[in-house]
Structure 1
Amino acid sequence: MLSVNEYFDGKVKSIAFQGESLPATVGVISSGEYEFGTSKKEVMTVVSGALTVQLPGSDSWTRYGAGDAFEIAANASFKVKADVDTAYFCTYE
């Protein structure tokens, strides 16, 4: 079953589904700056575009382009900046 979610007044949209081994989402983040929270461990892969990310506990920002992935622990928050509309794939453990 697919589930569609919208965040930040529709500027972030995702479709949740059950992947082969883990729950997952695919989505698009419109240009802007956002803060997300996690309830499970997440691995986010940029599919198209780029995200500049401030991971939990870090003061620095790192840019992730298409094909790059980063991991966020459960029960944490992280910030992202998108200069262009950016597509992602995320799995949850």
Structure 2
Amino acid sequence: MIQQNEYYDGQVRSLEFANSQGKFTVGVMEPGEWEFEAPTREWMILIRGTWDVKLPGSRDWKTFGEGDSFQIEADESFTVRISDTVAYLCPYT
């Protein structure tokens, strides 16, 4: 079953699904600065666009482009800063 998720008044939207390869969300984010807490281990893979990310424990922003990824452990928070709409894939455990 596919579940639709919406955050920040619709500025961040995703579709959540599971198949034989695991659990995933695929989504889009509009420009803005968005903070998320990962309830499980997640891998964020940028499909289209660029974003700046403040990873857990860091005070600095790191820029990621198409095809780049980062991992977040369960119960950690991260922040993304976006200047143009992006698309992402998020496998999680």
TM-score normalised to the size of structure 2?
A: 0.97
What does residue range 3-82 of structure 1 map to in structure 2 within 5 Å? 3-82=3-82
Superposed CA RMSD in Å reads: 0.7
Q: Which whole-Å deviations, capped at 9, do the CAs of 1:11-70 have from their partners, x for residues lacking one?
A: 000000004322100000100001000110000100001110000001111111110000
Gaps of 5+ in 2: none
Work out the CA distance in 1 between the residues paired with 2:20 and 2:36. 25
Partner residue in 2 for 1:87: 87
Give the aligned residue type for 1:56.
Answer: P
CA–CA distance in structure 2, aligned partners of residues 61 and 41 of structure 1: 21
Distance 2:8 2:20 in 1: 29
Structure 1 runs not aligned, ≥5 long: none
Partner-residue secondary structure (3-state), 2:5: strand
Tell me the percent identity: 42
Runs of 4+ in 1 over 6 A off after TM superposition: none
CA distance in 1, matches of 2:77, 2:48: 23
1:84 Cα shift?
0.4
Moved more, 72-81 or 18-27: 18-27
Measured after TM superposition, the shift of residue 88 of structure 1 is 0.1
